[in-house]
């Protein structure tokens, strides 16, 4: 009974409302609304353009796991799938749940790809993206001390442990021992990834990591630019350190589409570094708005006759 309650949309929606209330209850809402209403639309459209470019890069990365040499037409199909998943993901508790909608277009367009392999590619693609973010967070710590930044000990440990796990995984793959991982009981259900992490697929994985290097850096730069616009005084290194932690936590089914949880995490990590709560919440709010605007492209995809035909199959 309790499990059903915790997994229900109503419960997640309630958590989002509570977290948003506590995030905004002690800030100057008049100032926040004034700055939101006065935002330069040119900047907003530019940031949205960056979000769209990032989605295209993510589409290319995912397609590399399933197609050896994806064409532009393939990338377009994968982009449509990601956008539609993002759109429906607005109505489910976690971004991971939105991944289920990625099946609709890809499964129809590429019927020769086994469903197990398709599902495994979604998991591996997410892992590759996360591992590069964690690498950014780990490397940036070496610059934190010289810049006078304080990184909480637990954050250092968490990033180090996760990175170590990622390195073990890639080490097994590159030495052709990836199957050993799936002999462990906790990872046994992920054995469908086995084909994708076969030694012969290493060139594709390396390409995916290279694409992640570009897309993740672009996203991190975007968040720094937004924060700088609102006067958060958050350094680029701080963004590099804390965004991987925040994005990893938001994978958990805490709230609807991360609303509320994201604001609380931004406040926790960035206000302690000297930024005002108002400027941090503005950065978080614009991040959420950009996510919604980018996801709405998926709504347009869902309205196309092509998508309706696929969805009716």
Distance CA 198, CA 179 (A): 8
Over residues 195-231, the pLDDT tens digits come to 787 778 889 999 999 999 999 899 999 999 999 999 8
Over residues 107-126, the pLDDT tens digits come to 778 888 888 788 888 888 98
How far from 83 is each of 76, 134, 241, 297, CA to CA, in Å?
10, 24, 28, 6
pLDDT at 3 over 70: no
User: What's the whole-number average pLDDT of the chain?
Assistant: 80
Q: What is the per-residue burial (b if ≥16 Cβ within 10 Å, else e) of 261-287?
A: bbbbbbbebbbebebbbbbbbbbbbbb
Over residues 240-263, the pLDDT tens digits come to 888 877 877 776 666 666 677 788
Record the pTM: 0.83
Percent of the chain with pLDDT over 70: 80
> Which pLDDT score, from 0 to 100, does residue 214 have?
94
Q: From the CB of residue 63, how many other CB atoms can be counted at a distance below 10 Å? A: 27
């Amino acid at each position: 009974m309790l499990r059903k309650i915790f997994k229900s949309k109503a419960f997640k929606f309630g958590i989002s409302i509570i977290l948003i209330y506590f995030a905004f209850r002690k800030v100057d809402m008049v100032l926040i609304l004034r700055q939101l209403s006065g935002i330069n639309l040119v900047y907003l459209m530019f940031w949205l353009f960056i979000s769209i470019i990032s989605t295209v890069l993510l589409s290319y990365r995912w397609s590399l796991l399933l197609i050896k040499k994806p064409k532009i037409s393939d990338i377009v199909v994968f982009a449509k799938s990601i956008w539609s998943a993002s759109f429906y993901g607005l109505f489910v508790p976690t971004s991971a749940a939105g991944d289920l909608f990625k099946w609709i277009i890809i499964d129809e367009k590429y019927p020769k790809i086994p469903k197990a392999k398709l599902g495994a590619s979604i998991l591996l693609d997410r892992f590759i993206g996360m591992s590069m973010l964690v690498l950014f967070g780990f490397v940036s710590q070496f610059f934190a001390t010289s810049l006078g930044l304080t990184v909480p000990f637990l954050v250092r440990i968490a990033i180090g442990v996760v990175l170590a796990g990622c390195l073990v995984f890639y080490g097994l793959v590159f030495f052709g021992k990836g199957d050993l991982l799936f002999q462990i009981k906790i990872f046994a259900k992920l054995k469908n990834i086995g084909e994708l992490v076969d030694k012969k697929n290493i060139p594709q994985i390396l390409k995916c990591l290279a694409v992640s290097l570009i897309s993740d850096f672009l996203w991190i730069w975007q968040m720094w630019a937004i924060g700088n616009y609102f006067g958060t005084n958050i350094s680029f290194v701080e963004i590099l350190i804390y965004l991987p932690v925040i994005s990893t936590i938001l994978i958990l089914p805490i709230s609807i589409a991360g609303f509320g949880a994201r604001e609380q995490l931004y406040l926790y990590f960035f206000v302690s570094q000297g930024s005002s709560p108002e400027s941090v919440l503005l950065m978080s709010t614009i991040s959420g708005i950009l996510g919604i605007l980018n996801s709405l492209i998926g709504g347009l995809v869902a309205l196309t006759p092509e998508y309706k035909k696929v969805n009716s199959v």
